[in-house]
Structure formats: C-alpha cells, structure tokens
Amino acid sequence: MPHTEDPAAPRVAVVGATGAVGTTLLQLFTERDFRYRSLELVASARSAGSTITADGAERRVHDLATFDFGEVDLAFFSAGTSVSEQWVPVATQAGALVIDNTNAYRMDPGTPLVVPQVNADQLAERPASGVIANPNCSTIPLVRLLRPVHRRWGLARVVASTYQAASGRGLSGMAELRDTSRDSLDRPDRMPEGERFSPALAFNVVPSIDRLLDSGFTLEEQKMTQESRKILGLPHLDVTATCVRVPVLNCHSEAVWVECAEPVDRRELVRLLAGEPEVAVHGRDEPGRFPTPRTATEADLVHVGRIRVTPQNPRAFWLWLVADNLRIGAALNAVQIAERLPAYGWRLRAEGGRPLAGVGR
C-alpha cells in the first residue's frame, strides 16, 4: 500500500485532485506503489468538502484557499495555469517542493523542465525556485523519441502535426465531446454548440489549440517548440508544429517529420527506438501494423509506427506516435519525476519545516 510511516517518505498534496489529471495521479500512486506518509486532496471551493476514494480510503477534498502547505513536503499541481501562478508561490514559500503540470513555470530559467527518460540529470539538485515543471502533453512523448535520434545522427529539423484528444481539456472536455456527438447524431442538420471546444469537436477537427499569438501560431504550438529545445538542451533546434484537436476521447497522436545531420538507416532507427524504455514499436515484425488511440492499449508506453525514411532525402524520416496524454503526457511523467527524488538523496524539507534550497546528493 502507498501509505507508510517511513519518515523518509514525503507528505503529499494533490492540487486539482478532482480533475482528469488529478484522479489519474491518485490511480498511479496505487499502481506504482508510490510511498507517502500522508496524502491531502485539494481543489477549488466548488469541490471542497466532497470525498474521493484513494488508496482504499475515503478522503475529504480541502479548499485550496485555506489549505496549509506548511504540512506538505511535495505538492503536485494540476489545476490550470492561473491557479499555479497564484498558489505555487504560496506552497514553495511554505517549504513544499512543487511538481507543476501547467505552463506557468516551464520556461522559467530557474525551473527545470523534466522528462525523466531524457534529462533526469536536471533533478540532481533541488531547484532554488522550489518548482519542477512537467512539460506539455504532446512534447513529452516527442522528446522521448528525439533524444536517441539526436545522439545517433544529430537533429537538424523537426516538423510535428498533432492530433489531440478531448481529454486535453479535462473531464469536461470529454463530457462535451460525448454530448455534442449524441446531439449531432440526433440532429445531423444542426451544428451543436460547445463551450470547451469552438467550433464543436463532434465529427470535426479544429486546427487551433490554446490562444492565438501575434506570430500566427497558437500557444500550444509555441510550447512544443520552446519546451523541446529546453528539454533536449538544443536552444536553436529548428522545430515547428501544427496542433489540431480531433474527436477522440483520450490519447494524443502525432505525425512527425525529422531531418538529421547524417543519413539514417531505417533498420537501425527501428532497433534504436525499440530499445528505448517504455516504447513500443509497431510494424517491426509485421509490416503495416500501426498504433491508434483505440488500439494502443498499454497506456504507459509511447507507441510508434509508420517509420519510414524519405527516398528523396536519406537524412529524413517520418514516424507516427500515440500516447495516453493523461498518463504519459501528464500524471505518469509527474510521478516518474517524484520517483527519482529519493534516488538522488533529496530531503524534501529541513528540520523544523524550513525549505531546503540547492540540496543534492
């Protein structure tokens, strides 16, 4: 069971515990036997006072506005960027270490942006900011595949087109897709109205995610560019994206074109990707097989298929990837970050409750 009396285990809070990522975090604590001394569930006043079953026990949800982070060693934040901007400083000033799943601190120079399979070395010391940032849901699986490619052939250019599921907008996004799909089937001549997606996502694709920037790109597309560069340690990498919302409940997909500095051998590329931790290569032994959001049932793996080197440019190749955005793209990456902390000899809080900055092995 995750609960333990071990004094080396952290006291944990999950902020946004009633949301899609928050509930997935709680599932993963149990599945992965992530040990904690105490577990506090925190959400907005709207959800405060409700109960959630976690680790076999009914737990009351606390109101974020009155919650005492002084009783917490490690806080997972997944309640939206504006919430993190307001309340993460409160948590860190109280001494808690925060793993933040929003865009609020990802590009802060003093905050590590971590995918453990790619740049776990960033966890060698506790960040002075008190925050470790969890990347965007489409960036995480992409950089996990790009890292070995860069080490072998060198990256020159990356072009990604994403096919992002309704769960990227949380439980309410999934509910709206279900509702508008039923409405469209009942009244096919009428365009349903949506609040989480505009235009409505039912039987539709929407090539715009997050707000439009002056550059003509959306914030989601900018995130993929900036975050990929930071995580890979390649500040000038030529990477660009088009992010599209599709009528899929869960699991994001991406079509990715990669150009390398040297010619790529497909057989070696397939072996290289298949050798990566928690990556499944489809079509390796049976050509023509590929993953989809409905068929990629192993939710904790990055699924890859359609790997093909372009005949006109042997330095470039295409691939297709599918990953569960609630797990790999958010909650699982956050838990895997937390799992690394004891391995680096971290103490989450000083004696007497004072925060520890810059404490490494």
Quote the CA–CA distance of 85 and 36 in Å, as a whole number. 26
Q: In the prediction, which pLDDT does 60 show? A: 95
Is 181 domain-assigned?
no
Query: Is the domain of 144 the same as that of 274?
Result: yes
- Contact between 218 and 208 under an 8 Å Cβ cutoff? The reply is yes
Across the range 64-77, mean pLDDT stands at: 96
pLDDT score of 359: 29
Residue 44 lies in a domain: yes
Is 171 inside a domain boundary?
no
Residue 265 lies in a domain: yes
Q: Is 137 a catalytic residue?
A: yes
Residue 56 pLDDT level (bands cut at 50, 70, 90): confident
Region 142-151 average pLDDT: 98
For the chain, what is the largest distance between any 2 Cα atoms, rounded to a whole number of angstroms? 66
Confidence of residue 350 (pLDDT cuts 50, 70, 90): very low
The answer on 336 and 300 residing in a single domain is: no
- HEC string of the chain? CCECCCCCCCEEEEECCCCHHHHHHHHHHHHCCCCECEEEEEECCCCCCCEEEECCEEEEEEEHHHCCHHHCCEEEECCCHHHHHHHHHHHHHCCCEEEECCCCCCCCCCCCECCHHHHHHHHCCCCCCCEEECCCCCHHHHHHHHHHHHHHHCEEEEEEEEEECHHHHHHHHHHHHHHHHHHHHHCCCCCCCCCCCCCCCCCCCECCCCCECCCCCEHHHHHHHHHHHHHHCCCCCEEEEEEEECCCCCCEEEEEEEEECCCCCHHHHHHHHHCCCCEEECCCCCCCCCCCCCCCCCCCCEEEEEEEECCCCCCEEEEEEEECCCHHHHHHHHHHHHHHHHHCCCCCCCHHHCCCCCCCC
The per-residue pLDDT for 93 is 96
Please tell me the predicted confidence (pLDDT) of residue 349: 53
Q: Is 265's pLDDT higher than 90? A: yes
| CATH for 222 | 3.30.360.10
Q: What is the pLDDT of residues 1-29, one digit of tens each?
A: 688 888 888 999 999 999 999 999 999 99
Q: Which two tokens stand for residue 147?
A: 């890292």
pLDDT of residue 6: 86
Average pLDDT in the 294-300 region? 95
In a shared domain, residues 128 and 211: no
pLDDT at residue 67, rounded to an integer: 97
What's the whole-number mean pLDDT along residues 61-86? 96
Residue 196 has pLDDT above 60, yes or no: yes
pLDDT tens-digit series, residues 87-110 = 999 999 999 999 999 999 999 999
Sign of CA dihedral 210, 215, 217, 221: negative
Q: How many residues does the chain have?
A: 361
62, 150, 251, 252: the catalytic one is 252
pLDDT at 229 over 50: yes
Shared domain for 270 and 336, answered yes or no, is no
Strand arrangement, sheet containing 316-323: 238-245, 155-164, 252-260, 316-323, 302-309, 279-281
Q: Which tens digits make up the pLDDT trace of 104-128?
A: 999 999 999 999 999 999 998 889 8
Both 97 and 220 in a single domain? Answer: no
Together in a domain, 146 and 253: yes
Please report the pLDDT score of residue 284 as a whole number: 86
Answer yes or no: do 124 and 231 share one domain. no
Burial of 7 (0-12, 13-18, 19+ CB in 10 A): exposed
The pLDDT of residue 351 is 41
**Mean pLDDT calculated for residue range 263-269:** 97
pLDDT score, position 342: 76
Higher pLDDT, 355 or 92: 92
pLDDT at 281 over 90: yes
Is residue 36 within 8 A of residue 10, CB to CB? The reply is yes
Same domain assignment for residues 122 and 220: no
Q: Are residue 155 and residue 269 in the same domain, yes or no?
A: yes
CATH code, domain with 65? 3.40.50.720
Which amino acid type is present at position 135?
P
Percent of residues, the chain, with pLDDT higher than 90: 84
Q: What is the mean pLDDT of residues 243-272?
A: 97
Q: How many angstroms separate the Cα of 2 from the Cα of each of 34, 74, 136, 236, 304?
A: 5, 15, 27, 42, 32
Same domain? 143 vs 277 = yes
The pLDDT-based confidence of 285 (bands split at 50, 70, 90) is confident
pLDDT given for residue 354 in this prediction: 46
What pLDDT band is residue 199 in, cutting at 50, 70 and 90? very high
The count of structural domains within the chain is: 2
- 114 and 160 in a common domain: no
Q: Region 245-263: what's the mean pLDDT?
A: 98
Is residue 282 situated within a structural domain? yes
Q: Is residue 223 part of a domain?
A: yes
In this predicted structure, what is the pLDDT of residue 110? 94
* Residue in 300, 256, 255, 246 with CA at minimum distance from that of residue 278: 300
Q: Is residue 196 part of a domain?
A: no
Same domain, residue pair 88 and 146: no
The one catalytic residue in 62, 137, 243, 303 is: 137
Residue 4: inside a domain, yes or no? no
Q: How confident is the model at residue 361 (pLDDT cuts 50, 70, 90)?
A: very low
Give the residue numbers spanning the domain of 260. Answer: 139-165+205-324
Q: Which of 48-62, 154-168, 284-298, 336-350 is predicted most confidently?
A: 154-168
Our answer to whether residue 243 is catalytic in this structure is no
On average, the pLDDT of the chain sits at: 93
